Amino acid sequence: MQSDRGNPRLKFLDRYVGIPVAGALGLGHRLRGRHALPSSWTSVGVLLISGIGDTVVATGVLTDLRARFPDARIVLFVTANNASFARLLTTPDEIVELPVRQVWRAVQEIRARDLDVIVDLSAWRRFDAILARLSGAETCIGLRTPGQFRHYGYDIVVDHERRHEIENDRRLVAAMGLTSVAEPSVPMDPAAVAPLADPYVVFHLWPGGANFEERSWPIASWKALAREMAARALTVVLTGGPNEFDITQAIVDDWIASGIPARNAIGTSWDTSLAWLAFSTGVVSVNTGVMHVAAALGAPTIALNGPTSGTRWGPRGPFTRCVASPMVPDGYLNLGFEHDERFAHCMDAITVPMVLEAWDSLRSEAAIAGR
């Protein structure tokens, strides 16, 4: 269920039930020892029970896994949060949607794939670590993250580092003998065409997951930026999730009434959404999944970062910029769910001139490269 992401009850259970369960499951290692990577293996499961942004970032290691082990069977495990996007990916041989609220059924789904190795890409949830331990795979690989008490059941433990999350993904697959260097990528229909003939810019106003309000830029600032884009002869196209259609339409109606050419692109298929991003003059977004998708497609992408660190979760692509809040230049979030009241309004400190400066610089760079 989409609402399960950031669900406080599930987070409570994950911590206060998940920690003792993960610890208990790790006792077996004290008796039998940890399993090394098999000398030969033919199947690998990748646990990616997270949001769209993490899924985009993980496409780098998935690409390298396929290139290095072309005959291996790769199974990607996801949830309702990222399943619709994950199904666009062509690298895995199979994509399995797991039920977040039914642990034993999720375990059965994984065990039915008869895996040799399983790699858990998540950094903090005990739920994922428990699934990996109960997967039936000969070798489990996962992260030890300070303060999360989740790593006890892994055979191969990799310490989580405060670097861009793609680097943690790369270090996990390095435990399989793979040097991963590929950047995130999103497959797209080669026959796709621009959904709008005139030049346009895409705005994505809506952050996903926790700390929604702290990670949102004021609507008044978006409107002022839209007016500047209109002065540059660009139509403004707004994207978002299905639940944001009505509020987005109200914004579009207000902007049109103010003389700003605007469109609401919510409610389209993923293929159409990718086309809106890929053929745009550029994308301005809060730090969320759509930002990662746009950057991976090669669209000039500007990320507005308040509590989120651009160093840790910035867009990866050929043409990107991060505009950080001067109140907290490298954010304060570590794993994504923390809260600091001192920076509750840090996004307000990002000004329209700051974004326009980044836009003009990025567009000049893209134009030189022929984009």
* pLDDT-based confidence at residue 132 (cuts at 50, 70, 90): very high
pLDDT in tens, 276-295: 999 999 999 999 999 999 99
pLDDT of residue 2: 40
Please give the Cα distance from 200 to 283 (Å, whole number). 9
For 39, residues 6+ apart whose C-beta sits below 8 A from its C-beta are: none
Please give the Cα distance from 295 to 310 (Å, whole number). 13
Where are any strands of DSSP class E within 183-244?
200-204, 235-239
pLDDT of residue 6: 61
pLDDT at 19 over 50: yes
pLDDT of residue 338: 87
Question: Edge-to-edge strand order for the sheet containing 301-305?
Answer: 262-264, 235-239, 200-204, 282-286, 301-305, 320-324
Least confident of 58-72, 110-124, 196-210: 196-210
Please count the other Cβ atoms lying within 10 Å of the Cβ belonging to residue 7: 15
213 versus 299: which is more confidently predicted?
299
Average pLDDT over every residue of 301-322 = 97
* Percent of the chain at pLDDT exceeding 70: 97
SS percent in the chain: helix, strand, coil, step 5? 40, 15, 45
pLDDT of residue 31: 66
Please give the Cα distance from 97 to 110 (Å, whole number). 10
Q: Closest Cα partner for 74 from 84, 53, 59? A: 59
* Percent of the chain at pLDDT exceeding 90: 85
The b/e string for 35-63 (b: 16+ C-beta within 10 A; e otherwise) is: eebeeebebbbbbbbbbbbbbbbbbbbbb
Please give the Cα distance from 80 to 98 (Å, whole number). 8
Please give the Cα distance from 219 to 225 (Å, whole number). 10
* pLDDT-based confidence at residue 1 (cuts at 50, 70, 90): very low
